Amino acid sequence: MEPTELARQYGTPLYVYDLDRARAARRDLFGWLPEGFEVFYAFKANPHVDLVRALRDGEGPACRAEISSTGELAAALEAGYPGSDILYTGPGKTPEELSEAIGAGVRTFSAESLSDLEHIGGAALEHDTVADCLLRINSATASATTSIRMTGAPTQFGIDSETVAGLAQQLRSVPGTRIAGLHLFSQSNAADEEALIGELTHTIKVAAAIQEDLGVPLRLLDIGGGFSVPYAQHGERHRYPKLRTELEASLDLHFPQWREGAPRLAVESGRYLSGDSGTLVARVSNVKISRGKKFVILDAGINTFGGMSGLGRLLPVSVQVEAGEETEKASLVGPLCTPGDVLGRGIDLPPLEDGDLVRIPNAGAYGPTSSLLMFLGRPAPTEVAVSGGKVVSVSRIEHVRTYRSVEGDDA
């Protein structure tokens, strides 16, 4: 069913997730990689249960889950991911969430620091078990330029690579843990295939050096991601026809036993797997002119699509324009009482009137759950999952405040 047809049935703002496209992205990503690679899906991109289930079920290799909260843990478990298929990451894991994750069967964690490793070990000991930990490394060097850099600077993410040798003994001897491997994630949304290959092969080289510093053979090496898809603009997912050959050559050089599984290899991806599955449909609420500039006001703003827009990472979106249709320059804005509620400033739009529907493509990643969802208390958008042209589910996130009694309160 067409997204606009669904919008007429279920109202707007409306997200439509085509699960077949998510499955195609999974198939393509595994196809670009050397045989035997594992793929972790980053739930932060979109934790919708039907979408993450589609990335696990069906033909071909299944994605594993990369999560960083108990909310994402609940979504993974509901979608059928066993604890053994989950990697728990994040720099600020609390004792309560670590205990909940281990109680749910999660045994693999990314440790961002020595103290984080100690916290993981403490929770594991409380459950009379041992946690396998990937040490996240903040490499001192990088290869490619990218839109979002995650390494090479002071950061809450990862252990500084130049300190690993001095910390090795302490890292190896934290009770309740064993070092299973390394986790390196240096970039997001690489500009092109050359940039992606440059960064990932550099990561493999760094990982080999860190293995020497640690004095522990790696069983699992997660080299991160950077796989790209347009974000809220027209276009196709990037293709990576050279990636397999280049990664194989780098691994042969630095980890000559990798083809025998020493170590197992993994990448992670969020936007590439979910991005082009989603379309956001919004309705024009008002059109106005202010000092010669046109503003098209939608019922969807930064509370609906991407709080990242407030950081300037979203502009400009693009909307569907039919072949031969006239366009005009206008700003596409949302309904919120803030001047920051802008989805596109001075972009090409077809002539629009009150009540018209607009479609924003490639909106499957970093949508509702990365938005200012509760700002001004507006209802969350409806989310519809479709597969094979049929509706699989219709859902909406509800804002609910829960109360608990306070001792001595006679209200």
pLDDT for residue 149: 46
pLDDT band at 140 (very low <50, low <70, confident <90, very high): confident
* 163 and 305 assigned to the same domain: no
Domain boundary among 275, 302, 322: 275
Residue 179 reports pLDDT greater than 60:
yes
pLDDT band at 186 (very low <50, low <70, confident <90, very high): confident
Domain boundary among 219, 242, 275: 275
* 203 and 334 assigned to the same domain: no
Average pLDDT over residues 389-411: 87
Q: Which of 27-36, 91-100, 122-131, 133-142 has the lowest mean pLDDT?
A: 133-142
Residue 258 lies in a domain: yes
* 285 and 235 assigned to the same domain: no
Residue 317 lies in a domain: yes
Average pLDDT over residues 34-49: 97
What average pLDDT is seen over the chain? Answer: 92
| CA–CA distance, 369 with 271 (Å, rounded to integer) | 13
Residue 322 reports pLDDT greater than 90:
no
SS3 232: coil
Give per-residue pLDDT as tens, 45-75: 999 999 999 999 988 999 999 999 999 999 9
Of residues 164, 146, 300, 174, the one with CA closest to residue 232: 300
* 265 and 298 assigned to the same domain: no
pLDDT for residue 311: 52
Residue 14 lies in a domain: no
Residue 104 reports pLDDT greater than 60:
yes
Average pLDDT over residues 236-255: 98
* 37 and 107 assigned to the same domain: yes
pLDDT band at 319 (very low <50, low <70, confident <90, very high): confident
pLDDT for residue 266: 98
Q: Which of 44-53, 199-208, 398-407 has the lowest mean pLDDT?
A: 398-407
- The DSSP-derived string for 82-102 is -GGGEEE--TT--HHHHHHHH
| CA–CA distance, 382 with 10 (Å, rounded to integer) | 7
pLDDT band at 310 (very low <50, low <70, confident <90, very high): very low
pLDDT for residue 340: 86
* 237 and 305 assigned to the same domain: no
* 68 and 181 assigned to the same domain: yes
Q: Which domain holds residue 105?
A: 33-275
The pTM assigned to this predicted structure is 0.94
* 171 and 317 assigned to the same domain: no
Residue 330 reports pLDDT greater than 50:
yes
Residue 23 lies in a domain: no
Residue 408 lies in a domain: no
Residue 2 lies in a domain: no
Residue 241 reports pLDDT greater than 80:
yes
Can you list the alpha helix ranges (DSSP code H) found in 173-192? none
The CATH number of residue 343's host domain is 2.40.37.10
Q: Which residues contact 380 (CB under 8 A, 6 or more apart)?
A: 304, 368, 373, 396, 397, 398, 399
* 242 and 119 assigned to the same domain: yes
pLDDT band at 175 (very low <50, low <70, confident <90, very high): very high
The CATH number of residue 115's host domain is 3.20.20.10
| CA–CA distance, 219 with 409 (Å, rounded to integer) | 55
SS3 41: strand
* 233 and 287 assigned to the same domain: no
Higher local confidence (pLDDT), 219 or 142: 219
Residue 24 lies in a domain: no
* 269 and 311 assigned to the same domain: no
| CA–CA distance, 176 with 324 (Å, rounded to integer) | 65
Domain boundary among 275, 302, 332: 275
pLDDT band at 143 (very low <50, low <70, confident <90, very high): low
SS3 72: helix
Please count the structural domains in the chain.
2
* 178 and 322 assigned to the same domain: no
pLDDT band at 142 (very low <50, low <70, confident <90, very high): low
Any long-range contacts for 62-69 (C-beta under 8 Å, 24+ apart)? 63/26, 63/39, 63/273, 64/38, 64/39, 64/40, 64/266, 65/40, 65/41, 66/40, 66/41, 66/42, 66/268, 67/43, 68/43, 68/44, 69/97
